[in-house]
Chains A and B, each alone.
Chain A
Amino acid sequence: MAGWVIKGARTGIRSSAYPAGPETAIGVSPGMPGDTAVDSPSDAEGLASLCPTGAMTAHDVSVVVDRGRCVHCFRCAQDARMPAVAWDPGFEWATYTDAYQALHAAFSRSLHIRFVDAGACGACMSEARQVNNPYYNMHRLGFFITPTPRNADILLVAGPVSDAMRDPLRKTYAAMPPPKRVVAIGACAISGGVFGPSYASAAGVKDIIPVDVIVPGCPPPPLAILHGLLLVAGRKPPAPRSSLAARADGRPE
Chain B
Amino acid sequence: MSMSAELLLVFFLLCAAGVAASVVAPARSGPTALAVIGAAAAIALLATGAVLMGVEPGFRLELWSMLFGGTMALAADRLSAVLMLGAGLVFLPVSIFSATYLRKYAGHCDLRYFGVCYFVMFAAIVLVFIAGDALSFLAAWEVMSISSYLLVTYDLDREGSAYGGFVMLALGEAGTIAVTIAFILMVIASGSLQFGDWRAVSPHLTEGVAWAVFILSFAGFAVKAGLVPVNSWLPLAHPVAPTNVSALLSAVIVNLGIYGIIRVNLDLVPVHGAVPGLIVLVVGSVSALIGILYATIQSDMKRLLAHSTIENMGIVAAGIGATMIFLASNQPVIAAIALIAALYHLINHAVYKALLFVGTGAVEAGAGSRDLDLLGGLVRAMPWTSAFVLVGVLAISALPPLNGFVSEWLTLQTLLRSAVLSSTAIKIIFALCGVLIALTAGLAVTCFAKVYAMGFLGVSRSAGAADAAEVGWGVRSPLAFLAVFCVLLGILPTYVIPVIDRVAYPLTHASALPALVPPFFLPQAQQAENLPPAFLAEFHDLGAQTGEGMLPGRGLVVLHRGQASNPVVFAMSTSYMVVALAVLLGLVFLVFRLLTLGRRTVRGRAWDGGLRRLWPSLTYTATGFSNPVRVIFHAVLRPTTIEDSTEAVATHFRTAIRLDHADVPIIDRLVLRPPMSGLRWLAELVRRMHVGYVNAYAGYVLLTMLVVLVIGLAILR
Please give the residue numbers on chain A whose beta carbons come within 8 Å of chain B beta carbons, in ascending order: 116, 148-150, 167-169, 171-172, 174-175, 177
A150 to B610, CA, bound (A): 12
Query: Which of B7-15, B90-98, B378-386, B601-609 lies at the binding interface?
Result: B601-609
> Within 8 Å of chain A (Cβ to Cβ): is B635?
no
Residues of B within 8 A of A171 (CB): 605, 607-608, 610
A174 x B605 contact (CB < 8 A): yes
Residues of A within 8 A of B604 (CB): 174-175
Residues of B within 8 A of A175 (CB): 604-605, 607
A168 x B610 contact (CB < 8 A): yes
A149 x B607 contact (CB < 8 A): yes
B610 x A167 contact (CB < 8 A): yes
Residues of A within 8 A of B602 (CB): 177
A2 to B610, CA, bound (A): 41
CB distance from B715 to the nearest CB of A (A): 86
B610 x A172 contact (CB < 8 A): yes
A165 to B602, CA, bound (A): 25
Q: Give A165's nearest chain B residue, CB to CB.
A: B610
B612 x A167 contact (CB < 8 A): yes
Residues of A within 8 A of B612 (CB): 167-168
> Within 8 Å of chain A (Cβ to Cβ): is B611?
yes
Main secondary structure of the interface of A (DSSP, over half): helix
A13 to B466, CA, bound (A): 59
CB distance from B595 to the nearest CB of A (A): 16
Q: Please, could you name 21 A-B residue pairs with CB atoms under 8 Å apart, sorted by A?
A: A116-B610, A148-B607, A149-B607, A150-B607, A167-B610, A167-B612, A168-B610, A168-B611, A168-B612, A169-B610, A171-B605, A171-B607, A171-B608, A171-B610, A172-B610, A174-B604, A174-B605, A175-B604, A175-B605, A175-B607, A177-B602
Most interface-central of A149, A167, A171, A177 (chain B CB within 10 A): A171
Q: Give A148's nearest chain B residue, CB to CB.
A: B607
Number of A-B contacts (CB under 8 A): 21
Residues of B within 8 A of A177 (CB): 602
A34 to B40, CA, bound (A): 96
- Residues of B430-461 at the interface with A, using a CB-CB cut-off of 8 Å, are none
CB distance from B599 to the nearest CB of A (A): 12
A172 to B604, CA, bound (A): 11
Q: Give B607's nearest chain A residue, CB to CB.
A: A175
A167 to B605, CA, bound (A): 13
Q: Give B606's nearest chain A residue, CB to CB.
A: A175
CB distance from B52 to the nearest CB of A (A): 61
A105 to B611, CA, bound (A): 34
A169 to B611, CA, bound (A): 10
Residues of A within 8 A of B607 (CB): 148-150, 171, 175
A174 to B604, CA, bound (A): 8
CB distance from B614 to the nearest CB of A (A): 10
Given known contacts A174-B604, A175-B605, what 18 new A-B pairs fall within 8 Å (CB)? A116-B610, A148-B607, A149-B607, A150-B607, A167-B610, A167-B612, A168-B610, A168-B611, A168-B612, A171-B605, A171-B607, A171-B608, A171-B610, A172-B610, A174-B605, A175-B604, A175-B607, A177-B602
A80 to B602, CA, bound (A): 60
A175 to B610, CA, bound (A): 9
A175 to B605, CA, bound (A): 7
Residues of B within 8 A of A150 (CB): 607
CB distance from A186 to the nearest CB of B (A): 20
A193 to B604, CA, bound (A): 33
- Residues of B573-620 at the interface with A, using a CB-CB cut-off of 8 Å, are 602, 604-605, 607-608, 610-612
A-B pairs, top 10 by smallest CB distance, nearest first, are A168-B610, A175-B607, A171-B610, A172-B610, A150-B607, A167-B612, A174-B604, A148-B607, A149-B607, A175-B604
CB distance from A152 to the nearest CB of B (A): 11
Q: Give A116's nearest chain B residue, CB to CB.
A: B610
A148 to B607, CA, bound (A): 8
CB distance from A245 to the nearest CB of B (A): 37
Most interface-central of A116, A169, A175 (chain B CB within 10 A): A175
A167 to B611, CA, bound (A): 8
A168 to B610, CA, bound (A): 4
Residues of A within 8 A of B611 (CB): 168
Q: Give A175's nearest chain B residue, CB to CB.
A: B607
CB distance from B521 to the nearest CB of A (A): 50
A172 to B607, CA, bound (A): 8
CB distance from A167 to the nearest CB of B (A): 6
A167 to B607, CA, bound (A): 13
Residues of B within 8 A of A169 (CB): 610
Residues of A within 8 A of B605 (CB): 171, 174-175
Residues of A within 8 A of B610 (CB): 116, 167-169, 171-172
CB distance from B620 to the nearest CB of A (A): 16
CB distance from A113 to the nearest CB of B (A): 16
A215 to B607, CA, bound (A): 27
CB distance from B613 to the nearest CB of A (A): 9
Residues of B within 8 A of A172 (CB): 610
CB distance from A3 to the nearest CB of B (A): 35
A32 to B649, CA, bound (A): 57
Q: Give A168's nearest chain B residue, CB to CB.
A: B610
A149 to B605, CA, bound (A): 12
CB distance from A15 to the nearest CB of B (A): 33
A168 to B605, CA, bound (A): 13
A171 to B611, CA, bound (A): 9
CB distance from A144 to the nearest CB of B (A): 18
Q: Give A164's nearest chain B residue, CB to CB.
A: B612
A177 to B604, CA, bound (A): 10
CB distance from B608 to the nearest CB of A (A): 7
Residues of B within 8 A of A168 (CB): 610-612
Q: Give A178's nearest chain B residue, CB to CB.
A: B602
A168 to B611, CA, bound (A): 6
A175 to B232, CA, bound (A): 50
Residues of B within 8 A of A174 (CB): 604-605
Residues of A within 8 A of B608 (CB): 171
Residues of B within 8 A of A167 (CB): 610, 612
A49 to B139, CA, bound (A): 107
Residues of B within 8 A of A149 (CB): 607
A174 to B602, CA, bound (A): 11
Q: Give B608's nearest chain A residue, CB to CB.
A: A171
Q: Give A150's nearest chain B residue, CB to CB.
A: B607
A128 to B612, CA, bound (A): 25
A174 to B608, CA, bound (A): 12
Q: Give B612's nearest chain A residue, CB to CB.
A: A167
A177 to B607, CA, bound (A): 12
Q: Give A167's nearest chain B residue, CB to CB.
A: B612
A150 to B606, CA, bound (A): 10
B60-81 CB mask vs A (1 if < 8 Å, else 0) is: 0000000000000000000000
Residues of B within 8 A of A148 (CB): 607
Q: Give A147's nearest chain B residue, CB to CB.
A: B609
CB distance from B627 to the nearest CB of A (A): 21
CB distance from B610 to the nearest CB of A (A): 3
Most interface-central of A116, A148, A168 (chain B CB within 10 A): A168
A49 to B608, CA, bound (A): 47
A18 to B610, CA, bound (A): 34
A149 to B608, CA, bound (A): 10
A177 to B602, CA, bound (A): 9
Residues of B within 8 A of A116 (CB): 610
A171 to B605, CA, bound (A): 9
CB distance from B605 to the nearest CB of A (A): 7
